[in-house]
Amino acid sequence: GLKEIGNLASWTVSSCKPGCGVEALRDEDTGLFWQSDGPQPHHLNIHFSRFVSIVSIRIFLDFEADESYTPTRITLLAGTGYHDLIPFSALEFAQPKGWIDVPLDHVGGGEDGKTLRAFLVQVRVVENHQNGKDTHVRGLKIY
């Protein structure tokens, strides 16, 4: 019963290979992916034009298909802009496959303390499997 609000945001990436940008990441087909093209860390910025309440963030990764392109460490940050980003979740993966829920416990918003309130969410890929340089993220949904 949650509404995906990613279409309300402006999405940018730190870098991408041709044809593997934001459009591929946002597509419903998890056979498509964002592929970075440059030095780590890689950034994915989701900038909303108004203050939003986020109750769920999901990321799709596929180690079987992507191997060294698969992230092993991701940090998520949020704030009102690039100047005040605060980390709210750090994820580590062994061999992820499928949709992964980002924990929003203790982010402080809402009655239950599990609602993230922000203008900007940044997904920072810090490290890949086998020290891979570029990364693949096959989907990202914000509810």
Taking domain 6-142, whether its CATH number is 3.40.47.10 is answered by no
Q: Which of 79, 96, 99, 98 is nearest to 88 (CA)?
A: 79
Q: Which residue ranges make up each domain of the chain?
A: 6-142
The tens digit of pLDDT for each residue in 77-122 reads 999 999 999 999 999 999 999 999 999 988 988 888 899 999 999 9
**Tokens found for residue 68:** 């060294």
Which amino acid would we find at residue 49? S
The tens digit of pLDDT for each residue in 24-59 reads 999 999 999 999 998 999 999 999 999 999 999 999
Q: Is-contact 109 16, C-beta < 8 A?
A: no
